[in-house]
């Protein structure tokens, strides 16, 4: 049985109509952005609650809301999620952005993450997107080779790029988060943060090799659906093939993280 939940969020001056099942909970909060520039008339605010626990896969959305902002910021939001899907030991993150069609205007720069429960901090301040990476790079890419060495078939490794340059992925063990920059075919990986799982054998060896290769990347080129990251000598240090062509929703990939501990409620 479904009930219609009408949430009037006066701070944002907007009314959201959200369908929520009787067994769902509602998470409410506020979204603002870093400057006072007026938003385009067709701008939309998107907020999602994601499970970011899996190192070898993109984040799993548990709830999402999208709405047209009304009046002045901050904007109120409300999203429904199933509390039965909250698992002890998993990491959950809130992410938000403001966009027009496929163009990002503002996005989260702090990953609000909690262990085993929904993040307590539900107020999100978004930063203006300074630059966007080429559309050809946006998506999820499976790493097939590190240099000339094939990636291990039983050690998942991938990189996911958002249009705003947010990065997530894994070299085989830990989940990495960070940012990338690109101008034309020039490319560089910025500082990354990662989980600290202790892996042994091939997983850790491959991850170390991927991280070393990322540090050497200065450019990229496409060959069909294959992406090559090259070093200063033009040698391919990472080879990847497209896994998804649609825009991914990676874990919030920011240089600053707020980790909260606690138990599921």
Provide Rg for the chain, Cα atoms.
19
- Per-residue tokens: 191: 């500082």
Judge whether 75 and 30 are in contact, CB under 8 Å.
Answer: yes
Query: Model's pTM, two decimal places?
Result: 0.56
Quote the DSSP letter at residue 57.
S
- Closest by CA position to 179, among listed 170, 193, 187, 189: 189
> Residues spanned by CATH 2.40.128.270 within the chain?
135-242
- Closest by CA position to 141, among listed 40, 244, 59: 244
The distance from CA 4 to its chain's CA centroid, rounded to whole angstroms, is: 30
The distance from CA 209 to its chain's CA centroid, rounded to whole angstroms, is: 23
- Closest by CA position to 147, among listed 56, 31, 228: 228
- Closest by CA position to 129, among listed 174, 99, 92, 151: 99
Q: How far apart are CA 15 and CA 76, in angstroms?
A: 9
Q: How far apart are CA 8 and CA 77, in angstroms?
A: 9
Return per-residue pLDDT of the chain as tens, 265 residues. Answer: 333 333 334 344 444 444 556 678 999 999 999 888 899 999 999 999 999 887 666 788 999 999 999 888 999 999 999 999 999 989 898 989 999 987 888 888 777 788 889 988 899 999 887 667 898 999 999 999 999 999 998 888 999 998 888 899 999 988 888 889 898 899 999 878 777 777 878 899 999 999 999 999 999 999 989 999 999 999 999 999 998 544 443 443 333 344 333 333 3
Alpha helices in the chain (DSSP H): 202-216
> Residues spanned by CATH 2.60.40.2990 within the chain?
25-128
- Per-residue tokens: 83: 């509390």
Q: Which CATH number fits domain 135-242: 2.40.128.270, 3.40.50.970, 3.90.850.10, 3.40.720.10?
A: 2.40.128.270
How is domain 25-128 classified at the architecture level of CATH? Answer: Sandwich (2.60)
């Amino acid at each position: 049985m479904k009930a219609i939940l009408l949430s009037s969020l006066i701070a944002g001056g907007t009314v959201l109509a959200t369908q929520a099942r009787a067994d769902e909970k509602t998470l409410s909060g506020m979204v603002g952005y870093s400057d006072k520039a007026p938003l385009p008339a067709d701008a939309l605010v998107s907020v999602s609650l994601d499970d970011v626990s899996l190192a070898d896969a993109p984040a799993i959305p548990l709830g999402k809301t999208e709405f047209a902002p009304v009046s002045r910021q901050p904007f109120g939001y409300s999203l429904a999620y199933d509390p039965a899907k909250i698992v002890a030991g998993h990491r959950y993150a809130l992410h938000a952005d403001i966009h027009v069609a496929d163009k990002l205007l503002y996005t989260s720069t702090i990953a609000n993450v909690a262990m085993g429960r929904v993040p307590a901090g539900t107020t999100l301040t978004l930063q203006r997107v300074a630059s966007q990476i080429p559309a050809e790079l946006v998506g999820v890419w499976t790493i097939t080779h590190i240099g000339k060495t094939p990636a291990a078939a039983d050690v998942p490794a991938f990189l996911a790029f958002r249009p705003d340059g947010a990065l997530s992925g894994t070299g085989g063990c830990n989940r990495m988060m960070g940012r990338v920059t690109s101008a034309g075919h020039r490319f560089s990986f910025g500082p990354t943060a990662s989980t600290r799982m202790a892996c042994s054998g091939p997983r850790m060896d491959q991850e170390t090799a991927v991280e070393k290769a990322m540090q050497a990347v200065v450019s990229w080129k496409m060959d069909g659906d294959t992406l090559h990251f090259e070093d200063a000598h033009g040698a391919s240090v990472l080879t990847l093939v497209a896994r998804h062509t649609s825009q991914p929703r990676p874990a919030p990939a920011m240089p600053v993280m707020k980790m909260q501990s606690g138990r599921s409620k």
